Amino acid sequence: MHLSRKPLSLNGTIASTRSKAHFVHSEWMRRLSNQLLDDMDLTVQ
């Protein structure tokens, strides 16, 4: 019983970790691009 449940929980953990990593990456990219736009605005002014 325990052995048959373990791979399922492992797959679920991997999936949630992947989606979390994807969210963190996209959030970081969005902040980076916002920061670049802010820097460009400062440079233009």
Q: Is 30 helix (H, G, I), strand (E, B) or coil?
A: helix
Rounded to 5 degrees, φ, ψ at 34 are: -65, -40
For residue 3, is pLDDT > 60?
no
Domain count, the chain: 1
**Residue 45 gets which letter from DSSP?**
-
Query: What token pair was written down for 41?
Result: 């605005």
Is residue 42 very low, low, confident or very high in pLDDT (cuts 50, 70, 90)? confident
Q: How far apart are CA 12 and CA 17, in angstroms?
A: 8
pLDDT value at position 18? 87
Mean per-residue pLDDT for 29-37? 92
pLDDT value at position 30? 94
pLDDT value at position 33? 92
User: Domain of 3?
Assistant: 1-45
Whole-prediction pTM value? Answer: 0.50
